[in-house]
Chain A
């Protein structure tokens, strides 16, 4: 007689933000085997980038791959094309781009924390964190003119400048947020009922993180020192107070803590950026047509985002390849589920911060 039972999670499930299907092989309550299917929201973005849109328009197309890290996608694409055009942005443009990416990281991490809390059964904490997240959304809306699709970065610069009012608003909201994050750190660290759901649950060891190529907060929670921000020199991260956040236990609690401490670090970096903003043009001419092949890596909120752009001196590109962080982290994710309780599965899944519309694109 068969001793295991199969329980599916998804493709539509109350704990999922986006469609993904897991097939869990369970022995009593314990998960012993996992099978994942991620391709439910395929939209053919890569093909559209090479068939329907010219290279100057593609930046706005790839921004629609993902709602949360829209700015990271358009930034990666823009950097790749600028490499092909031989254009180097000035310091002001670099700083403004960094500011938006870091703000994006803060609000994406907060969404993940809220969602992890909700999936572990703390609806009130979910509401509270989502309410606090509005502070950052307001700043982003005021800077870029839109709440979700910023369309802020274009080839050769950024589309809008920071005014003194925006600087004041950013300072004010970052100050308010940093108090709230301090309170949240205390809550996540000391609250007894939160620790029941998070501590020792969904453990990814350092060795497994190496073997299964984990990345982003998932890897850093296991103690694996990998961060594109420290590995590339496209942006002056070191000068603006970037520190790599590492935890050692690799459970949900550690992942939450990596995110919380990264938010604190990002807030400090945002403050440094707006205080030390260099003077310069925000939009420069980048002439020519992309010819050759360029690879760009950018640290998205969920890990390394990889772009390959190939052009042959035409208006249309030959190839745009997008490798998203969630896609690369699937083997590590599947490993974490093995040995966990089935009841913990939604909370573990939320702690990975999976982005399915990125993955299937």
Chain B
């Protein structure tokens, strides 16, 4: 740590009324109903990881069924019980419920709340130089609403008619009519209630993040000096505020249709020998409302991961992120475009083909800022001094899967090509790589990188390496062959493919995919072991283990309420002055140290950049 950086922090005097002396904290105010953003971040992370474990376990269960259809497995009997796995054979209800809840949990509970909830809470105050979030209380409410919605979602697994099983997109009428599928009974009601609470949680959180970033930046922290993590989290929060309310309205209308006899989404339905009274609604309306959130949602998932990656790649390359302004511009462009591309999920929904053309156009536009980001990451690595910490490996892995998955988006975003691969395994391969695996890599990268900040200890790097390499091979092993299965026209959400002998020759590939999936899932246990044991027995962290420039590393290792013991540090530069040379190019700006933290004033022998 540089002497100068320390001096700036230590200079501060105890002039702060609120944070100088602490109230005595009880166990409950410190660990449970905490209003401290660092504790709330940990709560989000741990809840997210638990939900993630459940979500991944579900995927393994249904992958086993796809690979060995209708065979008996003890593991089914154990997890699903006699009713859903009679004699150990998974039944179709259970299969559809598993894919539905897997999707819901992974998209919302792990990759939205677990990823952006964790890192927005942890990093926004620390990296902008704030004592805490604008409203600690709302922040606490946000976590507890998330907790309640998680509990409701999990409780729906235990209701008699089974959990929601109409797919995570819950298109009515299937999701509206218990006559159509058993999961649309109590299970669906709980799903909707859980999601409504989840949305409230997300909105409260997002508003808090936006207000905090706009108002609580420390002295000198202009918007153009913000680390890219903050830009990404800030823009993510804005997208959330714009789009989540629309899903709430869709959920409320669906609740009305289900329980109060309205006909927003239902019309002309004959089911179980009876004509329903509903008249005049349209499921296509629901699809529009759903995807108006649903598409921005994938950027809500991926942008924080990209922000985390930007920070980690720059730090570990010992280089400034290449094209900071272009990176910010791409984040903004992606955010804007993300709200006008939802129709590409609906090319064959029966909407006007002209609309399809418009959405093809906007969708393919979004490839441009995404490409710029990918190229900038690669250029950041170029001529760097790469420190291969586990966080760095996951960040490089993210760029790799983001490219692989993003490229197939060019096929799916093209309305013409979508016709024949729509809703096939090609789509599954695409979105799992581009937002599922990529965002998970972002989550892992963030955990490895900021673990010292969260828990004051280091995670074991060798276990991190094992975790990364097995996951990297496994993830491609699962999702690369899946494209080809989709190309064969195999639809998603099929309980078994044996009713179409045409698909018989895909069976071996499906087995291969499942084997890779099982291995990949198992290696996550290494991560969990590493995570838990490092919390208690990890090596004690130093104040700035990765020699990073951002403000969070100027806080003491032991957490204190208010983050900095003295005054909040002032900021004099952007966060990417890595390996910057002095004007004579004889040495680094600070001799012998290849980084200049943000709180170090401009040096005499230093050229000023416009940041």
A and B physically associate: no
Chain B interface (Cβ < 8 Å from any Cβ of A):
none
